[in-house]
Amino acid sequence: MTYCVAMRLRAGLLFASDSRTNAGVDHIATFRKMSIFETPGERLITLLNAGNLATTQSVLSLLRQRLHQDGPHLLNVPSMYQAAELLGRTLREVVERDAGSGTLSQGVDFGANFLVGGQIRGEPPRLFHVYPQGNFIEATEDTPYFQIGESKYGKPIIDRVIDFDSSLTEATKCTLISFDSTIRSNLSVGLPLDLLLYRTDSLAPAQPHRVDGDDPYFNRLRRGWGEGLRRVFARLPDEDWFR
Amino acid sequence: MTYCVAMRLRAGLLFASDSRTNAGVDHIATFRKMSIFETPGERLITLLNAGNLATTQSVLSLLRQRLHQDGPHLLNVPSMYQAAELLGRTLREVVERDAGSGTLSQGVDFGANFLVGGQIRGEPPRLFHVYPQGNFIEATEDTPYFQIGESKYGKPIIDRVIDFDSSLTEATKCTLISFDSTIRSNLSVGLPLDLLLYRTDSLAPAQPHRVDGDDPYFNRLRRGWGEGLRRVFARLPDEDWFR
């Protein structure tokens, strides 16, 4: 499985993904789930993926290969909307190719979910969730974040602390806590994490961070959050249910 | 959907369930998911159910009907193991009857999960998770709790604070917080909650509690937990990711 989060805040964009891929518990591997397409000063587009690894790798290979061909590609589409549309079309193309005949598919789920966000000069930053069917929705001020993969364990903390006006620093802190909760409760999500922050209108070169188990900040957060939760829990009132 | 939790601790047993049932978002109803079978002084058996409502209601109707017939039933089986076995057999009987022909089933999932726990005099308290297939597993000191239904949102807090030596008071506090997190993040889980606590070896009559949105203790917990989390979050260190 996988866990990815992306947020579109007033201050900018956040992308985070784990790196564990598994087909059963005895076939676990590490794959990067974050892909960056950029022309500094003009556009930055980031993709996060979850789902069938053959499908997501093929989609990314085709998107990269087509950067050098005529026709629309991620470095020439004029808007993020068209980037999401192109991604959706490519996803459908791969799934139709691989699942197409049906006779060999034997119940395999060829589907994949993508988060695609970024900024192209002339537009504000935008963020989309592309579904396995190739259609997509866009993040808004009311719903400023999307998750794909094992999203449930880490959702409550985001729901409690994040809104459109959160800072990128707060959003990162919250995202790392959300990953910590997920990793503790679900073996199929694992370190290292890939993290990318983008400041609105900067159009600066991407500086992705890799956060592993030795990362001192991540470890301070994990410890502080775990201790803080237990402290809050211990101080909450008790009730005598047998009275 | 549904969310149910049961715990088997040194101090006793805890059972909790929400009461929302839905078939799509436009068909929402309230159904109790906790059933109690007891002979005070001799046995207390509690069932929690999640899954197809027709299946769970039929299983419970058959279990109740058979209390007045010859043969094994929940008030005469000599052990909790046999109670779990009887439940599993009844579940298989209902699913085979309803899904049996196949021609009418049209992709409906007839499955259901049950948690069944309690104490029969002469045995310690025991707790089982009965799967849709009718087989079952038992809680141990290492894994003292089971969840069924929408379990993921509320799992991290239980993983962090509960072990076999937790008190029933702590376990109840943690369970109510786990329900609060689930209800906030998932519309298909809703109040009121049913809560039953049982002290090891008491064999006392069951005193179930119903916790609704007006419950003063639940509201103090929700408020205290939400404020406490935001306070812990705000005090955690910030990192400058753009340095």
Question: What integer pLDDT is reported at residue B3 of this predicted model?
Answer: 95
Would you say residue B103 has pLDDT above 70? no
Q: Tell me how crowded residue A76 is: count the other CB atoms within 10 A of its CB.
A: 14
Question: What integer pLDDT is reported at residue A30 of this predicted model?
Answer: 84
**Which domain, by its residues, includes B56?**
3-232
* Beta-carbon contacts of residue A181 (< 8 Å; ≥ 6 apart): A153, A154, A157, B156
ipTM: 0.87
Question: Cα(B212)–Cα(B176) distance, rounded to whole angstroms?
Answer: 11
CA dihedral (A56, A59, A62, A63) positive or negative: negative
Contacts of A156 in chain B (CB under 8 A): 153-154, 156, 181-182, 184-185
Contacts of A14 in chain B (CB under 8 A): none
Question: What integer pLDDT is reported at residue A200 of this predicted model?
Answer: 98
Please say whether the beta carbons of A228 and B236 come within 8 A. Answer: yes
Contacts of B233 in chain A (CB under 8 A): 157, 161, 173-174, 177, 225, 228
Q: Is the peptide bond before B208 cis (omega within 30 degrees of 0)?
A: no
| Closest Cβ opposite residue B161 in set A159, A172, A230 | A230
Question: Cα(B209)–Cα(B187) distance, rounded to whole angstroms?
Answer: 23
Tally of domains within chain A: 1
Would you say residue B129 has pLDDT above 70? yes
Nearest to B213 by CA among B205, B223, B204: B223
Total number of residues shown for chain A: 243
- For B190-241, write each residue's pLDDT tens digit: 899 999 999 999 999 999 999 999 999 999 999 999 999 999 999 999 999 9
Would you say residue B47 has pLDDT above 90? yes
Interchain contact, B241 vs A168, CB within 8 Å: yes
Would you say residue B179 has pLDDT above 70? yes
DSSP class per residue in A166-210: --HHHHHHHHHHHHHHHHHH-TTS-SPEEEEEEETT--PPP--EE
Interchain contact, A224 vs B237, CB within 8 Å: yes
Half-sphere exposure of residue A57: CA atoms within 13 angstroms, side-chain side: 7
Total number of residues shown for chain B: 243
Any alpha helices (H) in chain B, and if so which ranges?
53-65, 80-99, 155-161, 168-185, 216-235
The token duo for B69 is: 């017939």
Q: Is residue B147 part of a domain?
A: yes
Please say whether the beta carbons of A159 and B184 come within 8 A. Answer: yes
Q: Is residue A242 part of a domain?
A: no
Q: Which residue of B has its CA nearest to A167?
A: B238
Would you place residue B111 in the very low, low, confident or very high pLDDT band (cuts 50, 70, 90)?
Answer: very high
**Residue B236 Cα, gap to closest chain A Cα (Å):** 7
Would you say residue B169 has pLDDT above 90? yes
Q: Is residue A243 part of a domain?
A: no
- For B24-43, write each residue's pLDDT tens digit: 667 778 889 999 999 999 99
Interchain contact, B241 vs A159, CB within 8 Å: no
Nearest to B6 by CA among B45, B56, B53: B45
Q: Strand pairing partners for A35?
A: A47
Q: Is residue B242 part of a domain?
A: no
Q: Is residue B29 part of a domain?
A: yes
Would you say residue B185 has pLDDT above 90? no
Q: Is residue B161 part of a domain?
A: yes
Q: Which residue of A has its CA nearest to B178?
A: A156
CATH of residue B142's domain is 3.60.20.10
| Closest Cβ opposite residue B220 in set A226, A237, A240 | A237
Tens of pLDDT along chain A (243 residues) come to 799 999 999 999 999 999 988 776 677 788 899 999 999 999 999 999 999 999 999 999 999 999 999 999 999 999 999 999 999 999 999 999 998 766 667 778 899 999 999 999 999 999 999 999 999 999 999 999 999 999 999 999 999 999 999 999 999 999 999 999 999 888 888 889 999 999 999 999 999 999 999 999 999 999 999 999 999 999 999 999 987
Q: Is residue A8 part of a domain?
A: yes
Least confident of A3-7, A74-78, B81-85, B100-104: B100-104
Please say whether the beta carbons of A172 and B241 come within 8 A. Answer: yes
Distances (CA, A) of B243 to A8, A207, A209: 21, 11, 12
Q: Is residue A222 part of a domain?
A: yes
Percentage above 90 pLDDT, chain B:
83
Question: What integer pLDDT is reported at residue A1 of this predicted model?
Answer: 79
- For B61-78, write each residue's pLDDT tens digit: 999 999 999 999 999 999
Q: Which residue of A has its CA nearest to B182?
A: A156
Question: What integer pLDDT is reported at residue B29 of this predicted model?
Answer: 80
Mean pLDDT across chain B, nearest whole number?
93
**Residue A129 Cα, gap to closest chain B Cα (Å):** 19
Question: Cα(B122)–Cα(B148) distance, rounded to whole angstroms?
Answer: 28
